[in-house]
Amino acid sequence: MDCSGLGPDEILRLVEEGNRAVASAGTSGQRLLIDMSDAQMDSEASDAMKESCKKSKELVSRVAVVGAQSGVSRLITNVLSGIGGINTRLRLTVDEANKWLAEGA
């Protein structure tokens, strides 16, 4: 999911698209790579991500986040730490994220 450079409203739309994609795949053990480079979050986008995680936690096993700066990292950490069952790694390079996601296959 490429959130790079997006503002809160655009992230909200992308989260909705992501929800549909995860649900339509319908399989458990899905792994997600999220690029948050230069993304701007607000409480509404954070809440949408939290709800998305709750809805998809039975289908998603791993989430790798790249490009999150300190403020966004804290928001994502808070969102994902409140949701059990999703193994998450933050502050990875794209190569590190892909390797870690592949290990969970």
pLDDT of 95 = 95
Q: Stretch 66-90: mean pLDDT, rounded?
A: 71
The pTM score is 0.83
For the stretch 20-68, pLDDT in tens is 999 999 899 999 999 988 888 888 988 888 888 888 888 988 888 888 7
Residue 7: the pLDDT is: 93
pLDDT attached to residue 88: 83
Annotate 18-86 with three-state secondary structure: HHHHHHHHCCCCEEEEEECCCCCCCHHHHHHHHHHHHHHCCCEEEEEEECCCHHHHHHHHHHHHCCCCC
CATH number of 8-103: 3.30.750
Which pLDDT does position 105 carry in this prediction? 64
Domain ranges for the chain, please list them: 8-103
